[in-house]
Amino acid sequence: MDSRTGYIWRNACLLLAAALHVLGSRGPLDLPIARKLTHPERDDIVLLEWGYDREIQEIAVEIQTPRASAVALGFGPDTSLNKTDFVMAGWDDNDEPYFYDAHTDGEWPPVKDKSQDYTLLHLSRNDTHTVLRVWRQWFTCDRHDHEIENDTVRVSVVFGDGEQLELTDDNTFRKSIFFLELLYHPKYPEVMIRHDFILNDFLIPEVDTSYACTFLPMPRVPKKHHIIRYEAIEDPVSLGIVHHILIYFCPNKTEITSEVGDCYGEDRRFSQCMSATLGWAVGGEPFDYPEETGISIGTESDPQYIRIEIHYSNFENKQGLKDSSGIRIYYTPELRAHDSGTLMTGVLTFPMQFIPPASEAFRNYGICNTHLMEDVLNETIPDLTVIAYLLHGHLSVRGMRIMHYRNGTLIGHLGEDRHYDFRFQQSRNFPHAVTLKMGDMVVVECTSNTMDREGVTFGGPSTLNEMCIGFLFYYPILPIAMCLSYIDIHYMTSAIGLERADTIMDAVINIYGFEWDDESKEKAQKAVMEVTHLAMAENWEVDH
């Protein structure tokens, strides 16, 4: 940031702070949202509670730890504690309370900030617990304070005895949190029926990556019902190994088998169902559809079978684990106004997507041209109402956003997280539904960091491969499974100085063996920004 830009930013920040000061705080905030922080080696927990005001942009956070004389509450972009914003509180050797705003810059203990931007609301302890509650504005104009935005925040809680609080693995609890999640209290209908889709006692292969699929019947109902909620069934045996669970709705002409097989192997039956309608990934929580919409089941045109897909990442090659994970749905005969659908957007998962090694922030893009959806269906499509989103990448992804263009102009985002965490993939609702018009462009951007990798990272199904996918929850439903794109790989190889290959796979092999340097990585990034995208939209009712 140059001096002029810094001057503009400081003045803009001060003006914002002044405006919020005029609005004034509404007093102590309620703390209606709560999460538990656990530790793999401890039986006790840390309880985190918070509440926020979106209008005047302030937040209150409380932690309850096991009894301690010193506690530290940290907000940061990652789990390294580098550049983490901390609040330090406790009692000194004379039993006098202390409290201050601090930060880390790669070293412990945190250093006290020149600008003290947190307000202490409560500090107490009893025989079993210590409680700390603080208040702050989302934006404080202090570069050492972590801004509260629509991003994942890595919360760290450290506690112990003595004012010189030590940092150890045993006394540090961490969890990724989305502070600005919508507080949604759904009004459940009087009649709500539960149904489970499960892979029973599946023997997890002793390999890094595997995909297990089978077909399961939908619940049989005599008339139309709506699915209004779903959640993961996580088998304790396979915690940390199950990467994601997807439920694909199947056309009623699908060839069904009761066998369990490799989703992307030789059995082509598993490629018949491509409409990913319900899904869970690492860190996800239950999802409730807004009261105006739900997933239709029970009509003649609704699926009679689903394909369940479970991705296992057994990096420790554990033996003999039998998994019974799945998805639980809740459905009701009390119908809602709209039938909801799920649209997969982003980059087609294929090795034509690649990230050079030792790249700090390499960007990939997938484009959805909504005109193609009308072309595929050969009919006029009404405006779509987008109600929620789910971002999905793998281990190298550090940031994701779904950009929304109309007439060539960026008009907003259909999802964004600048601090994406692979282990915290949660469906997120919008404060206000967004209208998607036919002709709009949906662009999914993924920013990856491969500084710890010596070879090229390609798009693919393994956790060590990459994906760049955005799921949009919307209504009214369309028979469209996905709207994705992939790049002209021959243009990319030419841009970095490789000769044109005869086939796509030969081009991928040439990229795999390429000797990368800073100049070639810059050329590749420039080419990604300029390359032609081959866009595709797919009707989920077509034969495969």
**What CA–CA distance (Å, rounded) separates 398 from 418?**
7
Phi, then psi, of 4 in degrees rounded to 5: -65, -45
Give the end-to-end CA distance of the chain in Å, rounded to a whole number. 52
User: Could you give the residue numbers annotated as active site?
Assistant: 211, 392
Please report which helix (H) or strand (E) contains residue 272, including its range: none
Strands 293-297 and 225-233, by their bridges, are antiparallel
- Give 136-198 as a DSSP string: EES--S-TTSPP-SSS-EEEEEEEESSSS----STTEEEEEE-TT---------S--EEEEEE
**What CA–CA distance (Å, rounded) separates 17 from 143?**
14
Please report which helix (H) or strand (E) contains residue 381, including its range: none
Contact 508, 489 (CB under 8 A): yes
Among 534, 486, 491, smallest CA distance to 511 is for 491
Contact 330, 227 (CB under 8 A): yes
Query: String of b and e for 336-360 (b: at least 16 CB within 10 Å)?
Result: bebbbbbbbbbbbbbbbbbbbbbbe
Count of all residues that appear for the chain in the document? 544
